[in-house]
Amino acid sequence: MKTLIAIAEHRSFAAAAEAIGLTQSAVSLHVKALEVLLQTRLFDRSTRPALMNAHGRTLVEKAREIVQLSDGLTATLATAEIAGHLELGAVPTALTGVLASALVRLNTTQPKLLIRVTSGLSAELAEAVRKGRLDVAVVSEPTDLNAGLSWHACGSEPLMVIAPGGTPGNTDKDLLEALPFIRFKRFAWAGRLIDAHIRERGIRTVPGMEIDSLEAVALMVASGLGVSVVPKRPIREPFPPDLRVLAFGDPPVQRTIGLVERTQNPKSELVRLLYGEMLSLYA
C-alpha cells in the first residue's frame, strides 16, 4: 500500500523507488503482487511511463486511510506496556551478541515483562519449545522443522575463519589447513553447516578441540591453539583485534538466526515484541 501511495505522489515507479529506498524492480513487483491480489489492473502499461488508471487512483485514497490507521495502531501498541512472563532459549552465540541488545531495548519499552533465559544448542532448544518448556528460542536456521513449530528469520551472519595473528596463508583454505581445527559441537546446527562446506570444498583440517562457546573458541584461537570458523555477529567488536580474519567461502557462507516458536503459541504477542527488536538490529 505504501508503495502505491509513493507512486501516486511521485508520479513514476523510478521516483517512488528512490523515495522509499527500494529498487525500481522491487516497486514493480509490489505493484504486480497487489494487482494479482485484487485481480484488477491498477496501471495503464501501454504508455511509458505506466500511468495509474481509475482503479489505481481509487485504491490510493483507500490505501492512505489504511496506512494511517495501521500507523496509529502500531504507535498505540508500541507505547502500551505489556506485563507477563517469557521463557526464552538462546544459542550461546546469540546470547552474547545481538540478543543482549534486543533484551536491553525490550526491557526499556516493556519494564513489566519478565524474561527467563536458558542457553543451549539449537536442536535442544527447538525440542524444548515443541514440548512447551520454552515459549520461544533464538536459534540457527533449522535444516528441517518439526510439525507444530514455526520459524521466523531475523537476519544472516557471515561465517569467518579466525586464526592467530601471523598464521601464514592467503586464503581461508590456507588458514584452515595450517593449524588444528577448533570446532563448535558437531551436533550444533551451525556446526553441521560448517562441516558440510568443509567437506564440499575438500579442505583437509587437523582435528582439534570441540567447544560450544564462541568466546572460548576465540580465546583458544588467540592463544595459538588452532583455527576456527565462527559467525560474525552484528556487534561493535565481533573478534579480538589480534586475530587474522578471512571470509569462509566466496561469497561467504551465511548462517541465519531467527526465532522458533510453537505454531499455536499463547505467548505470541510477547514473541512479536522480541521479533521486532531482533529485526531492527539486523536491519
The Cα 130–Cα 263 span in angstroms is 9
Q: Do domains 2-79 and 158-254 have the same CATH topology?
A: no
CATH class of this structure's domain 2-79? mainly alpha
Taking only the tens place, the pLDDT of each residue in 184-203 is 766 577 778 889 999 999 99
pLDDT at 3: 83
- Name the superfamily (CATH) of residues 158-254: Periplasmic binding protein-like II (3.40.190.10)
Confidence of residue 75 (pLDDT cuts 50, 70, 90): low
Return the percentage of the chain with pLDDT > 70, whole number. Answer: 94
pLDDT at 255: 87
- CATH number assigned to the domain with residue range 84-155+256-282, chosen from the 4 options 1.10.1740.10, 3.10.129.10, 3.40.190.10, 3.40.50.300: 3.40.190.10
Taking only the tens place, the pLDDT of each residue in 53-63 is 988 888 888 88
- What residue spans define the domains of the chain? 2-79, 84-155+256-282, 158-254
Give the C-alpha distances (Å, rounded to integers) separating 52 from 1, 23, 48, 168. Answer: 14, 19, 11, 61
For the segment 2-28, the average pLDDT, to the nearest whole number, is 84
